[in-house]
């Protein structure tokens, strides 16, 4: 099987590694010659997804991940609203995107089934797009394939800008993630090691901050870390996007092209990994039954993944909308209600399980 993957990003590398592990010939075409720098970006990966990565993609050293055992949610006034704690068990793990990217890239370079091409989009269209590939998987959200075949999407502008940075501080145990629902937007502190914490601020109303203002805002909510220095911050506009159509003929849309959600729950990349689980299971089943990979695989993938992604992404939107409009409910009464719900063990267990495994039973 010969598969074309478009895009040079973390999603395309994970997908490539999963496919070559199954004996597929994979050609990645990087149509964007600019190198994407995620120097301050981290991703949270749930425990079940970590297990999937290690068993089906690449067995990464545990030291590359930093385990989080507790999540605490606070109000603007720093009072605790809700806490998630599973008897000391790991809830999720943090990893730097750049480090994960390099591990996958270096591993794939050694594999004879894998090739990387860096080309201009027009050259790719003329010379490679019409070549014989069993499947074409587009892992980019903005290119000629996305525009021509997958432009029809559910979309929403969150009217927010995400600011990310790394905080370097004195050594602490650092196993607790904290999120503050401030009046200016959600602010999350995500432990990356005993001495480094990632901070993500999703500023409402596309509020623009300079370096000094960003640092001042973060420090006003920092009661634990003895910060020595900040990295440079990066920023990105936040939008919601959900594809209405997952495939066209033998072309599959994947990764950020399929769905982009608000980062407040840290579930964006976990959704992509769950999509990858579904796709890998379909491919494995095909091989076990001696069948080729064809358009019916893509149809099966859409049937299985689409309803889960719709429900999960809209659930995140609901949480975002509720907290953003909390003043309409009466702020103090709202927080009391959320705290009461969070104290319910069944709800707490359900939330932890759903964050780990996604939507089940569809």
CATH number of the domain that 270 lies in? 3.50.50.60
Whether 134 is in a domain gets the answer: yes
How far apart are alpha carbons 199 and 356 in whole angstroms?
21
Which pLDDT does position 37 carry in this prediction? 59
Range of the domain at 280: 2-40+98-156+240-357
Whether 148 is in a domain gets the answer: yes
Check residue 263 and report its DSSP letter. Answer: G
First-last CA distance in the chain:
30
Q: Which residues lie closer than 8 Å to 324 by C-beta, 6 or more apart?
A: 204
Residue 42: alpha-carbon gap to chain centroid: 9
Whether 213 is in a domain gets the answer: no
* Contact (Cβ atoms closer than 8 angstroms) between residue 80 and residue 73: yes
Whether 164 is in a domain gets the answer: no
Q: Which residues lie closer than 8 Å to 325 by C-beta, 6 or more apart?
A: none
Whether 214 is in a domain gets the answer: no
Which pLDDT does position 123 carry in this prediction? 86
Q: Strand, helix or coil at 166?
A: strand
Whether 303 is in a domain gets the answer: yes
How far apart are alpha carbons 27 and 244 in whole angstroms?
27
Whether 78 is in a domain gets the answer: no
- Cα torsion angle, 316, 145, 307, 135, sign: negative
45 HSE (CA, 13 A, CB side): 21
Low-confidence ranges of the chain (pLDDT < 70): 33-39, 327-329, 361-362
Whether 290 is in a domain gets the answer: yes
Which pLDDT does position 336 carry in this prediction? 80
Which pLDDT does position 34 carry in this prediction? 63
pTM over 0.75: yes
Which pLDDT does position 36 carry in this prediction? 57
* Contact (Cβ atoms closer than 8 angstroms) between residue 294 and residue 283: no
Which pLDDT does position 243 carry in this prediction? 96
* Contact (Cβ atoms closer than 8 angstroms) between residue 203 and residue 160: yes
* Contact (Cβ atoms closer than 8 angstroms) between residue 38 and residue 129: no
User: How many domains would you assign to the chain?
Assistant: 1
Q: Strand, helix or coil at 299?
A: helix
């Amino acid at each position: 099987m010969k598969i074309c993957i478009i895009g040079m990003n973390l999603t395309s590398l994970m997908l490539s590694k999963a496919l070559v592990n199954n004996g597929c010939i994979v050609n990645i075409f990087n149509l964007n010659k600019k190198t994407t720098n995620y120097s301050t970006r981290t991703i949270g990966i749930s425990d079940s997804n970590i297990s999937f990565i290690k068993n089906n993609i690449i067995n990464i050293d545990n030291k590359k991940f930093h385990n989080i055992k507790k999540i605490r949610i606070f109000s603007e006034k720093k009072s605790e609203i809700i806490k998630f704690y599973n008897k000391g068990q790991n809830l999720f793990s943090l990893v730097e995107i750049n480090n994960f990217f390099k591990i996958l890239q270096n591993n794939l370079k050694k594999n004879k089934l894998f090739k990387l091409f860096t080309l201009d989009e027009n050259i790719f269209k003329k010379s490679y797009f019409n070549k014989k590939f069993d499947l074409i998987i587009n892992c980019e959200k903005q290119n000629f394939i996305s525009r021509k075949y997958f432009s029809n999407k559910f979309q929403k502008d969150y009217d927010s800008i995400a600011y990310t940075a790394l905080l370097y501080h004195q050594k602490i145990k650092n196993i607790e993630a904290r999120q503050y629902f401030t009046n200016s937007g959600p602010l999350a502190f995500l432990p990356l090691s005993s001495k480094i914490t990632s901070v993500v601020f999703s500023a409402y109303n596309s509020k623009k901050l300079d370096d000094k203002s960003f640092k001042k805002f973060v420090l006003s909510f920092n009661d634990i870390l003895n910060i020595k220095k900040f990295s440079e911050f990066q920023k990105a506009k936040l939008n919601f996007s959900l594809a209405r159509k997952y495939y066209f003929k033998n072309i599959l849309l994947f990764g950020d092209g399929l769905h982009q959600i608000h980062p407040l729950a840290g579930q964006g990349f976990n959704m992509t990994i769950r999509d990858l689980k579904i796709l890998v299971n379909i491919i494995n089943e095909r091989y076990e039954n001696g069948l080729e990979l064809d358009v019916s695989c893509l149809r099966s993938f859409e049937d299985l993944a689409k309803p889960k992604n719709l429900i999960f992404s809209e659930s995140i939107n609901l949480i975002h909308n509720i907290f953003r409009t909390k003043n309409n409910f009466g702020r103090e009464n709202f927080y009391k209600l959320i705290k009461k719900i969070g104290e319910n063990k069944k709800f707490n267990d359900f939330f932890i399980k759903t964050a780990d495994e996604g939507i089940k039973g569809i």
